[in-house]
C-alpha cells in the first residue's frame, strides 16, 4: 500500500476533486463510486526542469582551486501546462506547427475477430487506448494529430468510454455506428449535442465514401478511412485554433525512481492477451498479442506500414468498470457493454525506457477534465517523447513483478447477467448484417 504521505495526498486529491465537482455543472455521466484501489508507489521523481548548480572545481596540490565546473544544460521538459509552438502536446516531439493547429481525430478500431488483423494505421497514432468492449474482447480508440495516415481501420462502433476520450482531446470521433443505448448516451454529451453533431463522423450520421469507405458491402469489418478525407469532410466546422491538450509532460532523460521491467504482460481476459517487450537498441516497446484461440503471441503488425507496432510509453490505468446494461453483442445469449469511468482518480503504471514508475492517474474538474499522470508525491510523471499506448483495466485487476516481467491480470466484469434479451436493434452494422446509409451526408 502507499505510504502515509501518499495516503494523505490521495485523500486530499479526492476531497478536492469532490469539492470542485460540487461547484461545477454535473457531467453527463454516472457518478463514480467512492472506491479507489491504490498500490505501492515508487520513489518520487525529482522536480521537473531543475537546473544543476555550479560547483567549485577540485583543489590542486598546494591548495589552488581549479576552475568551477560549468553547469550542465538541463534537458528540455515540455508540459504539462504549456508547450512550445512546435512541440506536440500528445507526444512531446518537435513537429510542424501547422500539423498541430488541427482538430485531433479519434478513430474506433476493431481488434476482434482475428480476421480484422493486421489493422491499418495504428502505428501512426499519437495516442492509443485499448479497453474491453464486451465478452472479454478489446477495442481501440486511436488519436491522430501529428501524423497523417493513408488508411485507418477497420472501423467499428463506439462505446461509452468514447464520450470521455473524444472530449478529453477535443477530437472528432470516427465510428461505424453505435448501439441505440450508446448513441443515446453520446447524445447526452455536449461534445456531440445539437450543432456539434459534426464531431461524430459515422455511418449513422450519414457519412458516406469519402471519408468512410466500405471495401465489402456485406462485411461489417471492412470500413476504412484516412485522415485527409476526414479533415476535408469536416473543414467547414473544424477550427484552426489549437486544441487545449495540456496534462502530460515529456523529457528525454529517464527519471529517477524506476524499477527495471523488460516485458509488460496484459491479460485483459482469458481470450485477450498482450505483451509489450522493451527493445533497448530501439528504445521502444514492441507490441505482441495472441494470434488465435491458442493464445500464442505474435508481433502485432500494421498493415499500412508492414512494420511491428511500437510505443515509446506504455501506461496501464486501473479504472472502475460498471455494467451499463446496453446490449452490444448479440451472440451467445448476448452481452451488455460497460461504462468505464475514466474520471476522478485511480492507480497507474507507467513504463518507459525499460523502467516502471508507479503512481496515479487523475482526471476531474481540477485538471479541466484532462488526464494527468502523477507520482506518489503529486509530481507529474514525465513520459518519453513519442507515442503512448494506454491499457485500461478494472480496479480489481492484479499486478505482480517476476524478475523483469510485470504481469497485470484483469478480472472481467459480468455483462451477461441482466443484459436485456432480446437485444435492442442497432441502426448500423450488426453480426446479422449491414444496413447501408440511405441519406445524403449533411455538412
pLDDT for position 423: 53
* Residue partners of 61: CB distance under 8 A and separation at least 6: none
Q: What is the DSSP string of 110-154?
A: E--SGGGPSPBSGGG-SEEEEEEEETTEEEEEEEESS---S-EE-
pLDDT for position 272: 95
Our separate counts of H helices and E strands in the chain read 5, 25
Positions of the chain with pLDDT under 70: 1-72, 240, 331-333, 421-443
Cell of 222: 471492412
* Residue partners of 25: CB distance under 8 A and separation at least 6: none
| Domains of the chain, earliest start first | 11-19+28-41+77-409 (3.50.90.10)
Q: Assess contact for 272 and 414: CB atoms under 8 A.
A: no
pLDDT for position 201: 95
pLDDT for position 70: 56
pLDDT for position 16: 42
Element spanning 264, H or E = strand 263-267
Amino acid at each position: 500500500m502507499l505510504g502515509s504521505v501518499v495516503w494523505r495526498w490521495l485523500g486530499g486529491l479526492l476531497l478536492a476533486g469532490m469539492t470542485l465537482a460540487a461547484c461545477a455543472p454535473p457531467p453527463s455521466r454516472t457518478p463514480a463510486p467512492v472506491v479507489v484501489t491504490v498500490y505501492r508507489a515508487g520513489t518520487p521523481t525529482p522536480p521537473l526542469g531543475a537546473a544543476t548548480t555550479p560547483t567549485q572545481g577540485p583543489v590542486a596540490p598546494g591548495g589552488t582551486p581549479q576552475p568551477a565546473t560549468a553547469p550542465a544544460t538541463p534537458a528540455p521538459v515540455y508540459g504539462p501546462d504549456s508547450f512550445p509552438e512546435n512541440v506536440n502536446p500528445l507526444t512531446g516531439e518537435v513537429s510542424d506547427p501547422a500539423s498541430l493547429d488541427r482538430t485531433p481525430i479519434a478513430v474506433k478500431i476493431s481488434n476482434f475477430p482475428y480476421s480484422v488483423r493486421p489493422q491499418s494505421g495504428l502505428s501512426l497514432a499519437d495516442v492509443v487506448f485499448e479497453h474491453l468492449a464486451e465478452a472479454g474482447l478489446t477495442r481501440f480508440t486511436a488519436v491522430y494529430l501529428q501524423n497523417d495516415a493513408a488508411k485507418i481501420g477497420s472501423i467499428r462502433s463506439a462505446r461509452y468510454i468514447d464520450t470521455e476520450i473524444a472530449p478529453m482531446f477535443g477530437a472528432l470521433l470516427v465510428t461505424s455506428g453505435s448501439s441505440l443505448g450508446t448513441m443515446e448516451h453520446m447524445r447526452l454529451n455536449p461534445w456531440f449535442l445539437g450543432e456539434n453533431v459534426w464531431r461524430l463522423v459515422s455511418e449513422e450520421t450519414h457519412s458516406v465514401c469519402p471519408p468512410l469507405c466500405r471495401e465489402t458491402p456485406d462485411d461489417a469489418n471492412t470500413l476504412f478511412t484516412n485522415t485527409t478525407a476526414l479533415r476535408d469532410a469536416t473543414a467547414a466546422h473544424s477550427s484552426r485554433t489549437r486544441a487545449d491538450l495540456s496534462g502530460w509532460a515529456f523529457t528525454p532523460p529517464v527519471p529517477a525512481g524506476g524499477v527495471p521491467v523488460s516485458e509488460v504482460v496484459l491479460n485483459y481476459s482469458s481470450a485477450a492477451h498482450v505483451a509489450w517487450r522493451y527493445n533497448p537498441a530501439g528504445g521502444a516497446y514492441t507490441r505482441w498479442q495472441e494470434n488465435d484461440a491458442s493464445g500464442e503471441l505474435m508481433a502485432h503488425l500494421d498493415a499500412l506500414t508492414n512494420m511491428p507496432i511500437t510505443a515509446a510509453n506504455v501506461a496501464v490505468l486501473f479504472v472502475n468498470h460498471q455494467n451499463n446494461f446496453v446490449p452490444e453483442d448479440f451472440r451467445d445469449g448476448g452481452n451488455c457493454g460497460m461504462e468505464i469511468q475514466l474520471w476522478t482518480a485511480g492507480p497507474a503504471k507507467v513504463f518507459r525506457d525499460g523502467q516502471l514508475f508507479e503512481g496515479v492517474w487523475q482526471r476531474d474538474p481540477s485538471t479541466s477534465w484532462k488526464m494527468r499522470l502523477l507520482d506518489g508525491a503529486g509530481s507529474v510523471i514525465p513520459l518519453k517523447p513519442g507515442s503512448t499506448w494506454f491499457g485500461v483495466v478494472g480496479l480489481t485487476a492484479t499486478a505482480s513483478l517476476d524478475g523483469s516481467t510485470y504481469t497485470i491480470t484483469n478480472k472481467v466484469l459480468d455483462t451477461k447477467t441482466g443484459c436485456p434479451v432480446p437485444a435492442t436493434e442497432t441502426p448500423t452494422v450488426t453480426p446479422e448484417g449491414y444496413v447501408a446509409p440511405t441519406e445524403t451526408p449533411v455538412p
